[in-house]
Amino acid sequence: MRRVAVVGVGMTKFGNLYDQDVKELTEEAAFNALQDGNVDPKDVQIAYCGNAVPGVVSRQAGITGQIGLMSVGITGIPITTVSNACSSSTCAFREAYFAIATGLYDVGLAMGVEKTVMRKEDATLATLSIGSKFLSLGADGELENIYGISFPGFFANAAQRHMHLYGTTREQMAKVAVKNHHNATMNPYAQFQKEIKVEDVLNSRMVAYPLTVYDCCPLSDGASATILVAEELAKKYTDTPIWVKGTGQASGVYANSEEDLTRFLPTIIASKEAYKQAKIKPKEIDFAEVHDCFTISELIHYEDLGWCKKGEGGKMIDEGTTELGGELPVNPGGGLKARGHPVAATGTAQIAELVWQLRCEAGKRQVDGAQTGLAHTLGGLTHADVAVSAVAILGRD
């Protein structure tokens, strides 16, 4: 396999983008990535577009990539839609990486886009039905709905179990939200660019104990895109190529035990694969973007990604290890919690943040001395387990 570089990244602002449809979001993110990488649309030979919730607001019927990319001049090539819950665009990135690393193609595009937010007056019975199912169920509604499983409910159970086993506190979870909101104030693409305090999190409306509104990420609109090229072409497009060091992906193992609520085995499996490909150890990661769909999630990811022992995620946040300026900054772009979470667009937005950091282009949120970064997403629930996790590791050399 040959080396692959990321030469261009781009995204839209994340948030309640009422006046932009999914086609316009796709166009904007793809155009920004092409411009950033000095890539002619005709150079792109293959593309993968993550889109997890087609039909909620969009009207593209599963061909979101083809319709959006057509507008920026990318036509006639293989374009594949990847639908893998919140990991959709991380998986799209992985597929584009393999397509180039194996020598089948030289230039590829990987992106994600989601349009899930709409005005009340624009809603129809059909869109409300699709949207409410997505928001209120887990992943396998036929089996899970009768038990009342929802995303907040699942992670609330994980939080309660983590608190019981390891003494994790609500204050430690709240510190995740405070940190990520602070980082987002320095990210012009973020949905929530305001500081919050621990007390704000603890006193906000309860959703599913112990998780309050401020412990939960929003559901957003947005798109993000990346351009990948083979090593021999990298210098044609940029003087600062960022290299794909390793990727990993895994599905749920569906183990049923109370302890398993406090670890996500797909993340453990996927990260081990990525670390092995990159030939590095977990402690060699300089900074990371992880899937903080709920504050407890980020603490669990610290443990599953190998940065601390089981049960010590709360200690890491207490010690400031994962803050900007800490030993291992996590979610310098604001995370899902504050940058926003347009489901399928999150993964390549994380990768865009890695690229900006590794190029030293992140402005006030720049991680000093960043050489190696990790992006991590997980998605879906099935039988008391997450259904998919994907990891990508990028580096400056």
Domains and CATH numbers, the chain: 4-127+220-244 (3.40.47.10), 135-217+245-395 (3.40.47.10)
Task: Give me 28's structure tokens.
Answer: 């904007």
Does residue 254 have a pLDDT over 90?
no
Interval 76-95 mean pLDDT: 96
What's residue 134's pLDDT?
56
Does residue 54 have a pLDDT over 80?
no
Instruction: Give me the residue label for tokens 């990891």.
Output: 391
Please choose, from the candidates 222, 263, 303, the residue with its C-alpha nearest in 3D space to the C-alpha of residue 27. Answer: 222
What's residue 119's pLDDT?
59
DSSP assignment of 163-216 equals HHHH---HHHHHHHHHHHHHHHTT-TT-S------HHHHHHSPEEETTEEGGGB
Give the least confident one: 80-89, 247-256, 379-388.
379-388
Q: 162, 181, 301, 341: which is the annotated catalytic residue?
A: 341
What's residue 59's pLDDT?
58
Categorize the per-residue pLDDT at 60 as very low, low, confident or very high, splitting at 50, 70 and 90: low
Give the least confident one: 58-72, 173-187, 191-205.
58-72
Please choose, from the candidates 296, 388, 394, the residue with its C-alpha nearest in 3D space to the C-alpha of residue 52. Answer: 388
Interval 186-209 mean pLDDT: 98
Q: What residues are paired with 48 via a beta bridge?
A: 80, 110
**130-151 burial code (b ≥16 CB/10 A, e <16):** bbeebeebbbeeeebeeeebbb
What's residue 387's pLDDT?
87
Q: With H, G, I as helix, E, B as strand and everything else as coil, classify residue 300.
A: helix
Q: What is the dihedral of CA 271, 213, 334, 59, to 10 degrees?
A: 80
Higher per-residue confidence, 116 vs 211:
211
Mean pLDDT score of the chain, rounded to an integer? 91
Q: Is 341 a catalytic residue?
A: yes
Listing from the earlier edge strand, what are the strands of the sheet with 4-11? Answer: 79-82, 46-50, 107-114, 222-230, 4-11, 242-251, 386-395, 372-381, 287-289
Angle between helices 88-101 and 346-358 (to 10 degrees): 60
Q: 86, 91, 216, 217: which is the annotated catalytic residue?
A: 86
Q: How far is CA 333 from CA 9, 154, 280, 359, in A?
A: 14, 26, 24, 14
